[in-house]
A = this chain, B = another copy of it.
Amino acid sequence: MPTAETELLRQMFQAAVNAALPAQCVPPHLPVPPRGRTVVVGAGKAAAAMAAAVDRDWPPDRPLTGLVVTRYRHAVGPLDRIEVVEAAHPVPDDAGQRAAARILDLVQGLTADDLVLCLISGGASALLALPAPGVEFAAKQAINRALLRSGASIHEMNCVRKHLSAIKGGRLAAAAAPARLVTLMISDVPGDDASVIGSGPTVPDATTIEQARDVVARYRIAVPATVAALWRDPAAETPKPGHPAFRNAHAVLVATPYLALAAAAGVARKAGIAPLILGDAIEGEAAEAARVLAGIALSCARHNQPAAPPCVLISGGETTVTVRGGGRGGRNAEFLLALALALDGHGAIHAIAADTDGIDGTEDNAGAVLTPSTLSRARAMGLDPRAHLADNDGYSVFERLGDLVITGPTRTNVNDFRAILVRGGPRG
C-alpha cells in the first residue's frame, strides 16, 4: 500500500544503493594512467560492475587489460578490455580457483612503470579461493567448514583462511610488486577494515602463522599433514605491514555501508525528516533486533528521544535468522514482520528493510515496507502474522500485502538497509 511515507523510504533505500553503485562510486577514484601497462584484477559481487565502470572511463588510448571474477549471474558486459568470469559464492568452486590462479599469473612480470588496479567487493574471499601450494582444495574446505561451526570469531577465521591461501592476506600484492598497486574497495564488513574486505589480497596482514595454529588448537580443528608442513615453513608467512610489496600500494574505500546510510539520510533531511543513523554494523538475530529498534522508535514517538519526530532511524549491517520454520523470506522480511508485531499497529510508524545487493535471502525481492496497517491488513486476509514469523515466512506476508521491494540484483553490496520513520503530530 503506497503512502507518502513508504515512497520516501523507498527513495532513501534507492539513494543508499546508488551511493554504492560502481558506475557512481568508482570513477571519482580512478588513478592517473601509468606510463606502462594497466592490468585490472578483482573479485566480488560488484567486480563486474566495477570493471565496467573502469572499462568505460579509462582513456581509450591507454592500454588496459584484465580479469575479474564475480558471482554467477552477476556478470555484465561483455566488456571491451576486461574479461569477466563467474564463479560460485558462498561455497567456492573450480571456476573461482582457476580465475584466482590466472589473476596471480596476470600480475607477474610487471615493472614499476605498470599499474595493477584491483577491484574488491563483498564475496571476494569465496570467489578467490586458491589454496596455498601443497594444500588440497578439499582440506582447505574442510577446515573452513569446521571454523564456521566452531564459534570462532570472524577475526580468528580470517587469520586461518589467510594462512591457507595463495592469494589472500597481501599475497596478491606480493605477486604484483614492483608494479604500482591501487585497490578500490566496496566494503561490506563492520569497521571497513581493508585487511578484512575480501580477506585483504592486496593489504598487509598483521596476523601470523602462530596465531593461525593457536586458533585451530583452541577450537580443536584437525589439520592435515600438508597444512602442518606449510605452517612449519617461514616462507609461508603472509606479508606484514612494512613489507616491500606495499611500498607502491594503496587502497581506497569507494563505497561503504556508512556512506550509503549517509546518502539516505540526505534524502530524509531534504524531505524535512530528521535522520538519526544508529549504526552501519547492527547485528544480531533479525527478529530480536526488530524488537530493540521498535523500542527505540516508540521512544521517539513517546519521549522525543533519541530523536524528535518527524524523524527516521537509519541502520545497516547484517542481521541473522536462525531458521526454525519452513517459510519463505530473508532476514529483512523476518526483521520487518517482527517489527510489525512489536509496533502493534502504531499509527505514526512506517519502515523499510532491504538488502542493498537487491536479494533478501534467496527470494526475488530486496526487502519490504511496513505501514501502520501491516498487521490489520494481513489479518483481514486471514493471515496470522505471529504464525508466519514463527515459520520464518515473512516473504509470504509482504507478498500478499503487495508490500515487497523489488529491484533485481544491484551488482553491489553494502549490506542491509533499514529505516524506521516516525511521523510527527498526533498518533494516527
Contact = CB atoms under 8 A, between A and B. Distances in A.
Contacts of A276: 305-306
Interface in A122-160: 151, 153, 155
Contact of A299 (B281, B291, B299): B281
A298 B279 contact: yes
A193 to B, nearest CB: 11
A243 interface: no
A284 B278 contact: no
A251 to B, nearest CB: 18
A292 interface: yes
A288 interface: yes
A281 B298 contact: yes
Nearest to A152: B386
Contact of A283 (B277, B295, B317): B295
Contacts of A288: 284-285, 288-289, 292
A303 B291 contact: no
A112 interface: no
A288 B283 CA distance: 8
A5 interface: no
A300 to B, nearest CB: 8
A295 B282 contact: yes
A305 B295 CA distance: 18
A398 interface: no
A191 interface: yes
Contacts of A151: 386
Q: Which of A151, A285, A295 has the most CB of B within 10 A?
A: A295
B282 A292 contact: yes
A307 B302 CA distance: 20
Interface residues of A, number: 36
A201 interface: no
Contact of A278 (B155, B306, B317): B306
A96 B386 CA distance: 35
Q: Which of A279, A296, A344 has the most CB of B within 10 A?
A: A279
A293 B295 contact: no
A296 B190 CA distance: 12
A303 to B, nearest CB: 6
Nearest to A387: B151
Contacts of A344: 153, 155
A342 interface: yes
A258 interface: yes
Contacts of A295: 190, 278-279, 281-284, 315, 317
A299 B283 contact: no
Q: Which of A151, A306, A315, A317 has the most CB of B within 10 A?
A: A306
Contact of A277 (B289, B306, B342): B306
A280 interface: yes
A255 B61 CA distance: 74
Interface in A335-351: 342, 344
A280 B345 CA distance: 19
29 contacts: A155-B344, A190-B295, A190-B298, A191-B302, A277-B299, A277-B303, A278-B295, A278-B296, A278-B306, A279-B296, A279-B305, A280-B299, A280-B303, A281-B295, A281-B298, A281-B299, A282-B292, A283-B291, A283-B342, A284-B288, A284-B289, A285-B288, A289-B291, A289-B292, A292-B292, A292-B293, A295-B317, A306-B306, A306-B307
Interface of A: 151, 153, 155, 190-191, 258, 276-285, 288-289, 291-296, 298-299, 302-303, 305-307, 315, 317, 342, 344, 386
Given A276-B306, A282-B295, A284-B289, 16 more contacts: A151-B386, A155-B344, A191-B298, A277-B305, A278-B295, A278-B296, A279-B305, A281-B298, A283-B291, A283-B292, A284-B291, A284-B292, A284-B295, A288-B289, A295-B315, A306-B307
